[in-house]
Amino acid sequence: MSTLTATTDPQAAPTAPTRPRYRVTGRRVLRSEWAKLWSLRSTWITLALGLLFLLVFGLIISWQFAAGNLDSDFDRSTAVDLSLFGVPFAQLALGVLGVLVTAGEYSTGMIRSTLAAVPRRLPVLWSKAALYGLVALSVGTVGAFVAFLVGGRLISGTSASQSLSDAGVARSLLGAGLYLGLVGVIGTGLGALLRSVAGGISVLVGTLILVPGLTSLLPSSWQQNVSPYLPSTAGESMFALTHDSSTLSPGAGLAVFLGWTVLVLAGAAYRLKRNDV
């Protein structure tokens, strides 16, 4: 009696399909963050609100000026001043969305999946800040120019009338767009630094709105040395048409505001690199 042993060909054994391995590149991280940004309904709503604030407030104040319904404080206003009247309101909408772009992932827990896919972490922060900064810059610049062009028709023939070819007008409108873009970047950095939607929004609003008002409690000599270097005051210098001895020049205002932006991003990068999720 003989025993038969069956042999199997090793080449015939089924092999499990191998999954393709993808390298984590800067381009792929950017594409991922771009898709996540536009997949959120809050992105569309908040960007629309920021643009609406910029246009509506600028057009309303221009219409009121043309109708002569404003007090004497607006007698020396220019078309640029009136068209950019909505910048303080638009900055809140765009800054809040910047906070949501980063802190929103921490509140939902999605940040774990994001950082698992990008273990080096910092490319995620740079991609979020760069993409949203460009989006906020585009919205702010378009809104500023549209508000100026439409508002200019309302105040045509008045003492505030200006055209794009006038000295400093185009620079002021571009400066307003750049300021709003950097506000968006600061919001993104605050969201990553504080990892809290409520905390990020509170610090953003307090820094841009409350702190400048509190400087009035300081001695006058301190106000002159501190106030021009606050984020909101330096940012206003970027798009102000006229300047005096108490304000920074557009270039100096941009340098100071960029310094604040870099400081926030540096803090966010340090915490993202050093601390666990």
In the chain, domain spans: 25-210+225-274
Give CA–CA dist 197/99, Å, rounded. Answer: 6
pTM of the full predicted structure? 0.89
CA torsion, ordered 3, 6, 7, 12, to nearest 10 deg: 180
pLDDT value at 246 more than 90: no
pLDDT band at 9 (very low <50, low <70, confident <90, very high): low
CA 111 to chain centre: 20
pLDDT value at 1 more than 50: no
Burial 29-42 (b: 16+ CB within 10 A, else e): bbebbeebbeeeee
pLDDT for res 80: 95
pLDDT value at 208 more than 80: yes
Phi and psi dihedrals of 79, rounded to 5? Answer: -60, -35
pLDDT value at 7 more than 80: no
Please write the tens of the pLDDT for every residue from 28-69.
898 999 999 999 888 999 999 999 999 999 999 999 999 888
Does residue 201 or residue 220 have the better pLDDT? 201
Q: Which runs of consecutive H residues, i.e. helices, occur in 74-210?
A: 79-83, 87-108, 110-117, 122-154, 169-194, 197-205
Mean of pLDDT values over 127-154: 96
pLDDT band at 170 (very low <50, low <70, confident <90, very high): very high
Please write the tens of the pLDDT for every residue from 227-238.
999 999 999 999
